Amino acid sequence: MSEQQNIKLPTWFWVVSGLALVWNLLGVMAFVGQMMMTPEMMAELPQAEQELYAATPAWANIAFGFAVWGGALGAVALLMKKSWATPLFIISLTAVLVQMYYAFFISKSFEVFGPGRMIMPVMVIVIAIALVWLSNKAKSDGWIS
């Protein structure tokens, strides 16, 4: 344990971990905003988006929650140099894949938002994979325990 505490972590690790926390907290805000959307707020959206949100099954929303909360807690764990970041990021990645399966293959997201707005979901997947990799690297290099 004391050996792990004496390891000087690269600056980029702290920067990336901090950015991971900000990224995932933005996801938490998006999730909370979507879950707390009032009927009045929903009515302000274009009809196609209203229908898309109304048709979203509970399991896709639950996956969204696990994705963002798992990622946020994983980022906190990285900043605390705790190895439980890895399982949290794996939970987050799994939930991201479930959520994006719905978005890409079941819902009418492409029809409603168009291909241009699909860049963000791809970025979410790539970042989730990168955070699993980072936490594994940090553990194997002895940066977290």
Successive 10-residue mean pLDDT values, the chain, 145 residues: 69 98 98 96 94 95 98 99 98 98 90 84 97 98 95
Q: What is the pLDDT of residue 1?
A: 46
SS3 82: coil
Phi, psi of 138 (to 5 degrees): -60, -40
Write down the pLDDT at residue 5. Answer: 58
The pair of three-digit structure tokens given for residue 101, joined into one six-digit string: 């399966």
pTM above 0.95, yes or no: no
CB 77 within 8 A of CB 85: yes
Q: What is the pLDDT of residue 3?
A: 52
Q: What's the structural domain count of the chain?
A: 1
Q: Mind giving me the DSSP string for 21-44?
A: HHHHHHHHHHHHHHHT--HHHHHT
- Residue 32 included in any domain: yes
Asked whether residue 116 is domain-assigned, the answer is yes
Domain region containing 21: 2-140
Question: Rounded to an integer, what is the distance from CA 66 to the centroid of its chain?
Answer: 8
In this prediction, residue 115 carries a pLDDT of 80
pLDDT at position 118 is 83
Q: Say if 145 falls within a structural domain.
A: no
**14 within a domain of the structure (yes/no):** yes
